[in-house]
Amino acid sequence: MARANSRNEQIRHALAQEAARIMAEQGVEDYLSAKRKAAERLGISDAAVLPKNSEIESALITHQRLFHSQTHRDQLSQLRCSALRLMRLLSEFQPRLVGSVLSGSASSHSEINVHVFVDHAERISLALDEHGIDHHHAEKKLRYQADRYQSYPSFKFVAGEHTVEVVALPIDGIRQAPLSPVDGKPMQRASIAEVELLNQ
C-alpha cells in the first residue's frame, strides 16, 4: 500500500511539473486544460492522481525560477508596471490586482487581472473611454462558495503587449474576496500601494 501511495505521489509530482511546463511555455492559463494535456502527454488516465491547482502553481513558480530566472523577473516586473499604470488610472474605484501577476506565477502569456469596486459598471467603461482605451465588454464568473458563482461585468483590452481584464464588483465586494481557482481560499488582492512595494 505504501509503495502504491509513493508511486501515486511520484506520478502526481510529474504531472504537476509537466502541467507547469505547458503553462509556462505554451501560454495555457487554465489549470484543468494544463492537467489534461500533461496527463495525455505522459499517458496517465487515472484522474485520482491528477495534481491540485496549488501544486501546479508551486511547480510553475519553481519552473520559472529554474529555467527562466532573469527573464521571468523582468516579465513579472513589466506586467506589474502595466498593472500599476492601469490601477492609477482607475484609482477612484479602489482597484485590486489579483491572479498570477500578483502571485508571481505569471508568464509572458499571462493576463493582467484587476478588480474594481463601483456602484454602476458603466462608469468603468466611461473611464476607459476617457483615457482612450479601446475595450470590449464581457462577463466574469467568480466563485464565493463551493456551489455559488456570481457573474460580474468585465472589460477586456490590450495594454502594450499585455491582455487586461478589469472586473467590476459592487462597492461592498471589497469586503469579501471571491475564492481563488488555485487553492479555493479567498483570493489574494493587492492595492496600488501593495503592488508598488512588490515591484521595488
Q: Return the minimum-mean-pLDDT range out of 4-18, 33-47, 59-73, 172-186.
A: 59-73
Written as one letter, the residue type at 144 is Y
Is the domain of 49 the same as that of 125? no
pLDDT score for 2: 56
Number of domains in the chain: 2
pLDDT score for 109: 78
pLDDT score for 188: 95
Is the domain of 108 the same as that of 139? yes
Can you read off the three cell numbers belonging to residue 46?
487515472
* Interstrand relation of 112-117 and 162-169 (parallel, antiparallel or unpaired): parallel
Is the domain of 77 the same as that of 172? yes
pLDDT score for 146: 76
**78-108 per-position pLDDT tens digit:** 999 999 999 999 999 999 999 999 998 887 7
CA angle (38, 80, 126) in 5-degree steps: 105
Asked if residue 59 lies in contact with residue 17, where contact means CB atoms within 8 angstroms, the answer is: yes
Predicted TM-score (pTM) of this structure: 0.80
Nearest Cα residue to 35 out of 49, 15, 54: 15
pLDDT score for 85: 95
Is the domain of 46 the same as that of 75? no
Task: Categorize the per-residue pLDDT at 4 as very low, low, confident or very high, splitting at 50, 70 and 90.
Answer: low
Which of 48, 67, 86 terminates a domain? The answer is: 67
Domain range for 58: 2-67
**111-148 per-position pLDDT tens digit:** 999 999 999 999 999 999 999 999 999 999 999 987 88
Say what percent of the chain tops pLDDT 70: 97
Question: Could you tell me which residue, 41 or 97, shows the higher pLDDT?
Answer: 97
Is the domain of 141 the same as that of 193? yes
Is the domain of 137 the same as that of 190? yes
Asked if residue 40 lies in contact with residue 22, where contact means CB atoms within 8 angstroms, the answer is: no
User: What CATH number is associated with residue 176?
Assistant: 3.30.460.10
Is the domain of 27 the same as that of 90? no
Q: Return the minimum-mean-pLDDT range out of 43-57, 60-74, 172-186.
A: 60-74
Q: In sequence order, which residues have a C-beta less than 8 Å from that of residue 188 and are 6 or more positions away?
A: 98, 102, 103, 177, 180
